[in-house]
């Protein structure tokens, strides 16, 4: 994992910097700090690190400690610990944010637009807003470039953003223009009165053609970027998904499957050799919910190597992102109060995948 250069603020000579971010990458996802304490301190370790990494707040440092990303002498510590002479304090942290958004001419496929909001069909490979060291190439960079007035409810770093899709998930997204429209739409998301419909291509054929998946989701205990099925008492939050199987397919003889590049991809069992085109209707909005639920069902999404899926290849076609698309959203217009349903057409790669699997018609 790469890092970026930051000056570390040292108010006195009580520490020696053993490791600090280098300048090896302009797109760091994390930064790593390491200090040796030269005298016993009366301050807690969360205060100590806030002094040394000035762009982090004390509550931010405490969150890192809670997530096990701060260690003293190689062991996870508590925020209340007071460092002593010779202690080695290590911290993994997010990078320092840049000071301004860079406008970029990123193409936007507009599905609907009026003076209150806009709906787009987000393409694959685009993050919604800058985060974790990715400061350019995001949807927000494109919104700033096109210069419309966007809502300011979520601050200058997330203009107009009401909800998110994963980097490699395509489909319908709503973007608010006025603050009033933002609040009215956000309340619908909060109250779960907005109905979202996704479609996906998964490995294998579910035993039931329609069912409800009711399994709580929380952070994976071992891999920072992942989510997992977790009991409520172990940090999981309620998560519910309804699915319907639309079409089923046998594996094409010429197709091959392969895991991704990450080591944990290769630890997943080989997926089934059949396929299904499914409709997914989340009733909650947990991070990676649909991907985690389908993996838990034993039917990970094609191309989703993070959650047990494999890369699909047939002749000159290769599907190496999760085959997941936000196809439709139904909500109440923030000004007219009329019910609206907006749809985003399937992207070319999922359409091609379905045809390679033998689909003659694609209905959802």
Task: Supply φ then ψ for residue 214, to 5 degrees.
Answer: -120, 85
Which one of 191, 210, 242 terminates a domain?
191
Q: How many domains does the chain have?
A: 3
> What phi and psi, each to the nearest 5 degrees, are found at residue 297?
-75, -10
Are 153 and 29 in a shared domain? no
> Does 291 reside within a domain?
yes
Q: How many CB atoms lie within 10 A of CB 339?
A: 10
DSSP-derived letter for residue 233 is G
Q: Is 166 a catalytic residue?
A: yes
pLDDT (tens digit per residue) in 213-257: 999 999 898 887 899 999 999 989 999 999 999 999 999 989 999
- Percent with pLDDT over 90 in the chain: 65
Are the CB atoms for 362 and 346 separated by under 8 Å?
A: yes
Mean of pLDDT values over 256-284: 86
CATH assignment of the domain containing 238: 3.30.2350.10
DSSP 247-299: EEEEPPTT-EEE--SSGGGGGSPPPPSEEEEEEEEESS--TTHHHHHHHHTT-
pLDDT tens digits for 291-344? Answer: 999 999 999 999 999 999 999 999 899 999 999 999 999 999 999 999 999 999
CATH number at residue 74: 3.10.290.10
214 plus 262 within the same structural domain? yes
pLDDT in tens, 90-130: 999 877 766 678 889 999 999 999 999 999 999 999 988 77
Query: What's the pTM?
Result: 0.75
Residues 43 and 164 occupy one common structural domain: no
Closest CA to 122 of 137, 103, 107, 104: 107
| One domain, residues 104 and 125 | yes
Query: Active site residue: 87, 166, 304, 349, which one?
Result: 166
Q: Give the domain range for residue 162.
A: 98-191
Q: Is the pLDDT of residue 7 over 70?
A: no
Does one domain contain both 171 and 258?
A: no
Neighbours of 293 (CB within 10 A): 23
């Amino acid at each position: 994992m790469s890092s970026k250069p930051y000056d570390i603020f040292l108010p006195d000579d009580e520490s020696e910097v053993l490791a600090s971010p280098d300048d090896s990458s302009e797109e760091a996802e994390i930064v790593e700090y390491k200090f040796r304490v030269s005298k016993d301190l009366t301050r807690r370790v969360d205060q100590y690190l806030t002094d040394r990494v000035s762009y982090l707040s004390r509550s931010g440092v405490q969150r890192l400690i809670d997530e096990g990303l701060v260690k003293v002498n190689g062991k996870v510590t508590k925020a209340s610990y007071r460092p002593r002479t010779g202690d080695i304090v290590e911290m993994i942290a997010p990078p320092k944010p840049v000071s301004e958004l860079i406008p970029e001419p990123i193409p936007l496929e507009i599905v609907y637009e009026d003076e209150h909001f806009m709906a787009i069909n987000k393409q694959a490979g685009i993050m919604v807003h800058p985060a974790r060291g990715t400061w350019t190439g995001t949807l927000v960079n494109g919104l700033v470039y096109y210069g419309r007035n966007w809502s300011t409810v979520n601050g200058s770093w997330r203009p107009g953003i009401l909800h998110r899709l994963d980097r490699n998930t395509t489909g319908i997204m709503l973007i608010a223009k006025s603050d009033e429209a933002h609040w009215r739409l956000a309340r619908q998301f909060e109250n779960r009165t907005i109905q979202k419909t996704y479609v996906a291509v998964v490995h294998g054929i579910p035993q039931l053609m329609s069912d409800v998946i009711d399994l709580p989701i929380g952070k994976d205990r071992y891999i920072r970027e992942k989510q997992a099925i977790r009991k409520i008492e172990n940090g999981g939050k309620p998560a519910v998904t309804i699915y319907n199987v639309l079409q089923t397919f046998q594996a094409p003889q010429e197709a091959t499957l392969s895991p991704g590049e990450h080591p944990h991809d290769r630890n997943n069992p080989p997926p089934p050799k059949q396929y299904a085109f499914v409709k997914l209707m989340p009733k909650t909005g947990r991070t990676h919910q649909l991907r985690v639920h389908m993996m838990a069902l034993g039917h990970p999404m094609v191309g989703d190597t993070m959650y047990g899926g494999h890369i699909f290849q047939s002749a000159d076609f290769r599907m190496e992102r999760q085959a997941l698309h936000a196809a439709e959203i139904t909500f109440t217009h923030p000004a007219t109060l009329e019910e609206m349903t907006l749809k985003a057409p399937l992207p070319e790669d999922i359409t091609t995948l379905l045809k390679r699997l033998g689909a003659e018609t694609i209905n959802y």
